[in-house]
Amino acid sequence: MNSDNRNVILAVVLSMIVLFGWQFFIAGPQLEQAQRQAEIAAQQQAESEQLAVPATNADGSAAAPAATSGAPQVFADRDTAIAATDRVAISTADLEGSINLTGARIDDLELKQYRETVDPDSPIIALLKPAGLPDAYFVEQGWAAAAGSSVALPTSQSVWTLEGDNATLTADTPVTLRFDNGEGLVFHRTFAVDDFYLFTVTQTVENTGAGDVALFPYSRVIRHGNPQVQNFFIQHEGPIGVLGSNNYVARKYGDLQNERQVDFSSTTGWLGIADKYWATAVLPKPETAINARFAFSQSGGTNVFQTNYVETQPVMVPAGGTVSHEAYVFAGAKEDRVIAAYQEDFGFDRLELLIDWGWFHFLTKPMHWLLVTLYGILGNFGLAVLAVTVIVKAIFFPLANRSYASMAAMRRVQPEMKAIQERLKDDRAAQQQAMMELYKKEKINPLSGCWPILIQIPVFFALYTVIFISLEMRHAPFFGWIQDLAAPDPTNIFTLFGLIPWNPTALPILGSFLHLGIWPVIMGISMWVQMRLNPPPPDPTQAMIFNWMPVIFTFMLGTFPAGLVIYWAWNNTLSIAQQWFIMKRHGVEVNLFGNIIDSFRRKPKPAEPTKS
């Protein structure tokens, strides 16, 4: 590998270091600081904004949402909040919770198949929570009246009654709630749920009065507090939507605090709020014209985030008639195959974007499919990661073979290259010309050694994205101490793997660097050994950088998901074997052990010039 080749590799690696370093040291802290400043500014508002459902009547006048009464009661905990109101139970194979008869809203939902930690006895994931809690999170449907209308509509404080004998919503038995406004309108709200996470909400209005009534259906997701997010650049967490020609729309919580309100008029699509592994979204029927809004306000000092839509065309309820309207709610885990089935079966526009596949989505999605498929065969996601690495190596083997063959050829002509450099050391242009003639004569591509590394970068990011965002990888065990491939290696050499009872990561400034598990160390060693396949570069600066690079990457990957670190260590090991085999086959002596021993030898100091 000549100096040009090393420089290209060095530039690629340094670019990766800059990318991760920028996120860790600059972008991340700046984002956190901006979010804190936005929170402080919002708290200094004299009055909180009233959230409104956007709508426009056919004549251009604004439609108004149902009014809400004052701030909700404050509860000490979730159990107390749930016990404070009458409810209808929800029970399916995947969901557990209840519908609040006050407001007829879904505000209590747990995901039975997922737990907070790898401990099988840890609590199951609580997705939705009632109002009155600091982290309230719920879904609400309703009707908005035309501007100037005096029709009495149910509000978030209206108490509904259960209709019929069925008091539990299951995948086979829907439930219906009823509210009479006492002025000639009777509202029914029927909830149905499938085997996974999709609710169908059918709103029916009976008009026993003398005049026609125009109502606009709306639906919204409301979240209180400051949701905990990882603020990592490869995945969005916060308000999201796919809104017709606006395409994919997303706002970070901090950004929405600054903007306060973002409207999208006369569009189609869906919107909601996404976490890393879970999401809640409201979805009208496909191609329904809506006005959508992302909004932020404060209520009693609590931050309130909302995504909502209202249909632009009113539902006309004739005197003496009954009209029904149907919409959907997704509330659950971001399981790829489930979401893809909803998109296919119901025609929801690009619902797959509930999952943030990242920049390299054209690689990430096939990579995810391959991992899940291999998991079905091997029964272990760690083994699936190792198998994917082998498959990727096999796919790019012809390119790697040509690359390493060219590198081997360059090793053979190294004496001639040094002779040219020495002979033409004072004529740089002539030296480059002679080098190019030598490359052409020996059929050598001096940059071919960089291609395996360049190709690995998007593959690496695609696999990293899959491991980071894929729900299937969450709490997926490998072997031994790795019980969650999506979490960092839990061991730490700075505690002697648990023998010293202290937490070095709690130290200020340096703490973030003091988590280094066994697998990151293995990865660093494999990277260091791989670099020993070639003699050290003659340039001292390059030699120093290449020597420290494995150390830098070891600490950088110390906090990365264990699955990614295992992939990199295994990939390095395969690369060592591959490069050794190809270069030996082309007659190049690979003095790996000699290079390793030389790296530990103290370099002789240059002789001091003799005094005359």
Query: 472 forms bridges with which residues in the sheet?
Result: none
Distance of CA 250 to the CA centre of its chain: 13
Token couple for 283: 């979805």
What CA–CA distances, in Å, run from 587 to 117, 404, 412, 438, 501?
53, 12, 9, 19, 53
Amino acid at 357: W
The answer to whether 274 touches 241, Cβ cutoff 8 Å, is no
Q: Quote the CA–CA distance of 137 and 123 in Å, as a whole number.
A: 18
The answer to whether 515 touches 559, Cβ cutoff 8 Å, is yes
Phi, psi of 436 (to 5 degrees): -65, -40
Residue 556 in this model has a pLDDT that exceeds 60: yes
Q: Quote the CA–CA distance of 215 and 57 in Å, as a whole number.
A: 10
Of 120-134, 172-186, 460-474, minimum mean pLDDT range: 460-474
The answer to whether 455 touches 447, Cβ cutoff 8 Å, is no
Amino acid at 256: L
Query: What does the pLDDT read at residue 147?
Result: 75
Q: Quote the CA–CA distance of 220 and 138 in Å, as a whole number.
A: 9
Query: What does the pLDDT read at residue 447?
Result: 60
Read off the pLDDT of residues 201-255 as tens digits, 9 standing for 90 and up: 999 999 998 889 999 999 999 999 988 887 666 788 999 999 999 999 999 999 9
Pairing mode, strands 175-180 and 302-311: unpaired
Angle at 39 between CA 36 and CA 42, to 5 degrees: 150
Q: Tokens 């639906």 — which residue?
A: 219
Token couple for 280: 């809640």
Query: What does the pLDDT read at residue 122?
Result: 94
The answer to whether 223 touches 306, Cβ cutoff 8 Å, is yes
User: Which of these, 175, 229, 176, 172, lies nearest to 206 by C-alpha position?
Assistant: 176
Query: What does the pLDDT read at residue 561?
Result: 87
Query: What does the pLDDT read at residue 35?
Result: 41
Higher pLDDT, 448 or 295: 295
What CA–CA distances, in Å, run from 357 to 240, 260, 467?
14, 27, 11
Average pLDDT, the chain: 82
Q: Tell whether the torsion through CA atoms of 466, 469, 471 and 476 is positive or negative.
A: positive
User: Which of these, 227, 266, 5, 44, lies nearest to 135 by C-alpha position?
Assistant: 227
The answer to whether 189 touches 177, Cβ cutoff 8 Å, is yes
Residue 198 in this model has a pLDDT that exceeds 70: yes
Residue 62 in this model has a pLDDT that exceeds 50: no
Residue 162 in this model has a pLDDT that exceeds 90: yes
Q: Quote the CA–CA distance of 521 and 500 in Å, as a whole number.
A: 19
Q: Quote the CA–CA distance of 224 and 464 in Å, as a whole number.
A: 31
Domains by residue range for the chain, with CATH: 140-222+233-356 (2.70.98.90), 369-417+446-600 (no CATH)
Distance of CA 570 to the CA centre of its chain: 25
Pairing mode, strands 175-180 and 161-163: antiparallel
Q: Which of 66-70, 306-310, 502-506 has the highest mean pLDDT?
A: 306-310
Q: Quote the CA–CA distance of 552 and 541 in Å, as a whole number.
A: 16
